[in-house]
Amino acid sequence: MIITSLASGSSGNSTLVCSGSTCVLVDMGLSIRRMQASLMSKGYDQSKISALFITHGHTDHASGVHSFRKNFSIPVYGTYETSDIYVEQRGGYGGYQEMGVELDNFIKEGEDIQVGDLTIEAVRISHDARHPVAYFIHNGNRSVSVITDLGESNPLLEKRLEECNAILIEANHDPLMLQKGPYPEMLKKRISGARGHLSNQQTAKILRRAVGEETPVLLAHLSKINNTPQLAIQSVHGALRESGVRTEKIRALAPYNDPTEIRI
């Protein structure tokens, strides 16, 4: 299996996971042009993609879905509450910069979706959107996670993390940088709240319970304003060392087209 990022952060998110002849995208918060350029730089093109899975309806995760569906005959999956159908029927929007997403198929928690060689499982997470999820993607006895945009963990999420051979997880902000930074107080409270984003320290605490010395980790969705890759890696390394886990397999993703990929 291969996991790599096409885009990561508040300006857009998209992750590519491949195994055998099957590739899936998780999130489409970037333009078709950016997606194609990033895929090409990694030796892929859209013809290799079998499905697109959306975690939630915030624009940095879903703004490119309309163009994606218009240009490609590739099915798009997400929760019913994330869909434009739900918005039309129920009215209103759930959270900050949230949109109704055009979906072809609905996915439910606890339900496995088979796409070629890959099995995809959705797990509910805590974030200020309508029914947001993380995805755990399996091929046989190998599993990877794509977990972004959550304010706190939960027991099922951590159980699934313990089963992963590779982990992509959010490490959004450093609490002190957020506190002293330029954001309005209301936005600071949103980010640091239980339905916001994980700090470096929260991510480290989750990983301390879930990873082994040989588990590669990609730290994702880093804030450009309230974090740095070096600080995120240092925080996670420090927490893992304190718990007796010594690993050098932790990387922090750049916002766009990071060359890092994990193969398991």
Q: What number is the average pLDDT over the span 213-237?
A: 94
Q: At 94, is the pLDDT very low, low, confident or very high (cuts 50, 70, 90)? A: low
pLDDT digits (tens, 9 = 90+) for 139-195: 999 999 999 999 999 999 999 999 999 999 999 999 999 999 999 999 999 999 999
At 246 the pLDDT is 77
Using the predicted structure, report yes or no on whether residue 96 has a pLDDT greater than 70: no
Strand 2-7 relative to strand 261-263, pairing = antiparallel
pLDDT(17) > 80: yes
Task: Give the pLDDT confidence score for residue 93 in this predicted structure.
Answer: 53
Q: Is 257 left (phi over 0), alpha (psi -120 to 50) or beta?
A: left
* Residue given tokens 């947001």 in the structure block: 132
Under CATH, domain 2-263 is a member of which superfamily?
Ribonuclease Z/Hydroxyacylglutathione hydrolase-like (3.60.15.10)
At 137 the pLDDT is: 98
Task: Quote the pLDDT of residue 214.
Answer: 87
The pLDDT, as a whole number, for residue 95 is: 57
Contact at 8 Å (CB) between 62 and 101? yes
- Give the per-residue pLDDT at 248: 81
Neighbouring CB atoms inside 10 A of 46's CB total: 16
pLDDT in tens, 31-77: 999 999 999 999 998 999 999 999 999 999 999 999 999 999 999 99
CA atoms within 13 A on the CB side of 68: 32
**Which one is predicted more confidently, 36 or 209?**
36
Report in angstroms the alpha-carbon separations of 232 from 37, 124, 145, 219, 253. Answer: 27, 25, 19, 8, 10
Residue with tokens 């794509």: 146
Across the chain, what does the average pLDDT equal? Answer: 93
| pTM as predicted | 0.95
Interval 12-34 mean pLDDT:
96
Domain ranges of the chain: 2-263
* pLDDT at residue 89, rounded to an integer: 77
Helix axes 200-210, 229-242, angle to 10 degrees: 40
* pLDDT tier for residue 210 given thresholds of 50, 70 and 90: confident
Per-residue H/E/C for the chain? CEEEEEECCCCCCEEEEEECCEEEEECCCCCHHHHHHHHHHCCCCHHHEEEEECCCCEHHHHCCHHHHHHHCCCCEEECHHHEHHHHHHHCCCCCCCECCECCCEECCCCCEEEECCEEEEEEECCCCCCCCEEEEEEECCEEEEEECCCCCCCHHHHHHHHCCCEEEEECCECHHHHHHCCCCHHHHHHHHCCCCCCEHHHHHHHHHHHCCCCCCEEEECCCCCCCCHHHHHHHHHHHHHHCCCCCCCEEECCCECCCCEEEC
Average pLDDT over residues 108-122: 95
pLDDT value at residue 91? 63
